[in-house]
Amino acid sequence: MNGDQHPRRVAVRECRERVVERLSTAFAEDELALDEFDRRADLAHRTDDEEELRALVADLDEAPGTTSLVRVAPTEALAVRAPEAAPTRLRTIFGSVQRRGAWSASKHMEVSAIFGNVELDFGEVELPPGVTYLRVRAIFGNVEITVPPGVAVDCDGRGILGSFESANTRPDGRGRVLRIEGDAIFGSVEVRVGGGESHLALPARLQRR
């Protein structure tokens, strides 16, 4: 059998996909720094040797079990409530996660979209006074965040995730702040306020007044 369907080529391609997925997960969980992730991912796409591919992740242990929500396919989900002391973790790999309506948000959340999509709508979420921390990573994926009017948003990140002034969201005096930090690597992170206006467009709109 010749071409891309040759058994050896198929095996190498599948091995490469598994390796890149493991590298992406390791980066999302802070096992790898950005430069090391880039180096290994580049090598993974250059080599056609399965042994060399496996060597790229040989030092990475399987991700330890954590209290989290992990979605690895569009139709499969596992949700476990995290203890108060631990962050709530939402992760999707080649799938999607949505949170809408009156869902419960903890004070510390970690979100990763790896070749997938995460949508978080805080419109009906009763955020407590003080700062709620949200760490975001989009690796070949997308994260869309909607916050209600009155909640101050403070964003700081790398890639296309920008930094915003809290005043842009018109705080309502209740002292609620959503602090968003993270990275967008070959992906996107978008923050919207209220009825769908992109937070990325707010500074330009305010300047026209």
The verdict on 31 and 9 lying in the same domain is yes
Looking at the structure, tell me whether residues 29 and 127 fall in a common domain: no
- Tokens describing residue 34: 């950005």
Instruction: Say if residue 49 is in the same domain as residue 80.
Output: no
Give the pairing type, strands 76-78 and 69-73. Answer: antiparallel
**In this structure, what are the phi and psi dihedrals at residue 189, rounded to the nearest 5 degrees?**
-130, 125
Is there a domain that residue 62 lies in? no
Considering the domain architecture, whether residues 78 and 135 belong to the same structural domain is answered as yes
Residues 35 and 7 in one domain: yes
pLDDT of residue 83: 44
Distance (Å, rounded) from C-alpha 120 to C-alpha 130?
19
Q: Please choose, from the candidates 155, 142, 150, the residue with its C-alpha nearest in 3D space to the C-alpha of residue 176.
A: 150
33 with 128, same domain: the answer is: no
In the chain, alpha helices (H)? 7-28, 34-46, 50-55, 202-207
Pick the last residue of a domain from 32, 55, 78: 55
In a domain, 84, yes or no: yes
Owner of token pair 């419109």? 123
pLDDT tens digits in sequence order for the chain, 209 residues long: 455 567 788 888 889 888 888 888 888 778 888 788 888 888 988 889 999 999 999 998 654 443 333 344 443 444 444 444 467 888 888 889 999 998 888 889 999 888 899 999 998 988 878 889 999 888 888 899 998 888 888 877 777 544 333 335 555 666 788 888 888 888 888 888 875 445 443 332 323 23
Q: What is the number of domains present in the chain?
A: 2
**Residues 123 and 203 both lie in one domain:** yes
77 and 48 housed in the same domain: no
CA distances (Å), origin 42, targets 23, 51, 121, 162: 11, 16, 35, 26
Q: Are residues 39 and 135 in the same domain?
A: no
Range of the domain at 25: 3-55
Q: Does residue 92 lie in a domain region?
A: yes
- 123 and 160 fall within a common domain: yes
Amino acid of residue 177: V
Residue at 8 is within a domain: yes
Query: Do 27 and 87 lie in a common domain?
Result: no
- Residue whose C-alpha is closest to residue 189's, from 112, 131, 123: 112
**What pLDDT score does 171 carry?**
57
Tell me: do 51 and 127 sit in the same domain: no
